[in-house]
A and B are shown apart, each in its own frame.
Chain A
């Protein structure tokens, strides 16, 4: 799959064997991860989805520490927790439920 960096917007079909580049936690990035999640079935796919969610969790975690005065703080805090929840669902081989969790942030 090819991606429009930095937005992360899919340009063509979704391939669950490819890792979505995660450089931010924009809606486009989340959409791309969700699209991949919805077609993920194999061990390898779920590993890639977990890596993407780890990256979202990491980036939001750093944001919470470095931008304590941000107006987005509460929303990012919820996304941070949501990424954690989605991560654990993927780890439990429940990607469809993880996608629902992430969809709540769009």
Chain B
């Protein structure tokens, strides 16, 4: 449980709030480059940390992110003309470049023009790792970009999707690091019931998760604080002399990596507050050593795992709360726990059902919620630390993000920190 004050500290990210200040110390994923595909293409609306912004790609190919409202009369720059290295408001013709500098005020007589005095809010951007990133904090504290492995692999080795989730970012992260829910929410009925046919099917599987995850539904949890966040280690019984370990990464402010098995592609998320009631879910799938396989593309196309089909303009999932996520009750009766297709939609349905901002004064946690407790405490420490002028270490040390999740079998007398040390290092 959290106190009301703690819950607000963690879930409020508008400008001027402590949590908002914290997020504004990091580079954040803002949009897909394909949203502003070519120089002078139409601008698009982006809402981030409670701020309404306009993104545009100027004539030189540089991406600008400006406050949506024109500083003159507050008209939306979404209707603006993207022309000759600037975005021109169509109401009275004021024009701004990617740095927010006013280039033209054509409605004032020549002798009264004051372009040089006018600026609008503009945030620096970087194109990196298949995304446009934005920094919305104090210019003198601009951080390093995080050296995340998925951002460093060739484009053919990764796929990134973006979707809107109608909840606060925090409960989305909590879903991402909550290891015990997948035995239920994402399970087939055969797996949940551990039917003989299911056990027979997985007993010789080379997929460790399929083989061991469901056979021990009450795993042992541990967490390890790191420079970049947390390693969340979950241990399940395997053969007599071994444990099956799943190691999830949480990297501040809001990146997660799903435990992956060597030789398979890796998946992760970044959860970016859109405002206090909604967030952007960035989902990354990557293979550090090779282009994504036909199997990977099949899972992406069929939305069976972490990616979901969305509306191309709003990024709202096709399966959403207005259509009950296209739940198939017959399928729920006969074959899966939820009757909802795909892990992403299953997560979204359950997290959106908790109300946009969970009242954490009313929850009833147990020891299986250790990872969630640890993540909240870590973020609270960071947010309170910043309020006392302790800048977040990770923001200025991009190298420490060079890690991976893992899942592996270890002898029972080997600690995961030792046994998985090499596997948790990124390669690219």
Contacts and interface: CB of A to CB of B under 8 A. Distances in A.
Interface of A: 17, 19, 21-22, 42-44, 46-48, 50-52, 54-55, 57-58, 61-62, 84, 87-88, 91
Interface in B344-381: 364-367, 369-370, 373-374, 377-378, 381
5 contacts: A21-B367, A43-B381, A46-B377, A47-B374, A50-B377
B411 interface: no
B65 to A, nearest CB: 36
Given A47-B373, A91-B377, A55 B365 contact: yes
Q: Specify which of A50, A58, A88 lies most central, judged by the most chain B CB atoms within 10 Å of its CB.
A: A50
A87 B378 CA distance: 16
Contacts of B373: 47, 50-51, 54
Contacts of B3: 88
A48 B225 CA distance: 13
Given A44-B222, A47-B223, A54 B377 contact: no
Contacts of A48: 367, 370
Given A43-B377, A44-B222, A44-B224, A52 B1 contact: no
Interface string B183-224: 000000000000000000000000000000000000011111
- The main secondary structure of chain A at its interface with chain B is helix
Given A47-B374, A54-B1, A54-B373, A22 B366 contact: yes
Contacts of B221: 19
Most buried by A among B1, B222, B364, B366: B1
A14 B223 CA distance: 18
B173 to A, nearest CB: 16
Which size bracket describes the interface of B in this complex?
20 to 34
Contacts of B369: 51, 54
Interface of B is mostly: mixed
Nearest to A84: B1
Given A19-B221, A54-B1, A88-B3, A47 B367 contact: no
A3 to B, nearest CB: 12
A86 to B, nearest CB: 12
A56 to B, nearest CB: 10
A54 to B, nearest CB: 4
Interface in B57-116: none
Contacts of B220: 19
A55 B223 contact: no
Contacts of B374: 43-44, 47
Most buried by B among A22, A47, A52, A57: A47
Contacts of B224: 44
Contact of A51 (B364, B370, B381): B370
Given A19-B367, A43-B374, A91-B6, 13 more contacts: A19-B221, A19-B370, A42-B225, A43-B377, A43-B378, A43-B381, A46-B377, A47-B370, A51-B373, A54-B369, A57-B1, A58-B365, A62-B364
A19 B225 CA distance: 16
Contacts of B222: 17, 44
A15 to B, nearest CB: 11
B340 to A, nearest CB: 28
B1 A22 contact: no
Contacts of B367: 19, 21-22, 48, 51-52, 54-55
Interface in B103-139: none
B155 to A, nearest CB: 38
Contacts of B377: 43, 46-47, 50, 91
A52 B221 CA distance: 12
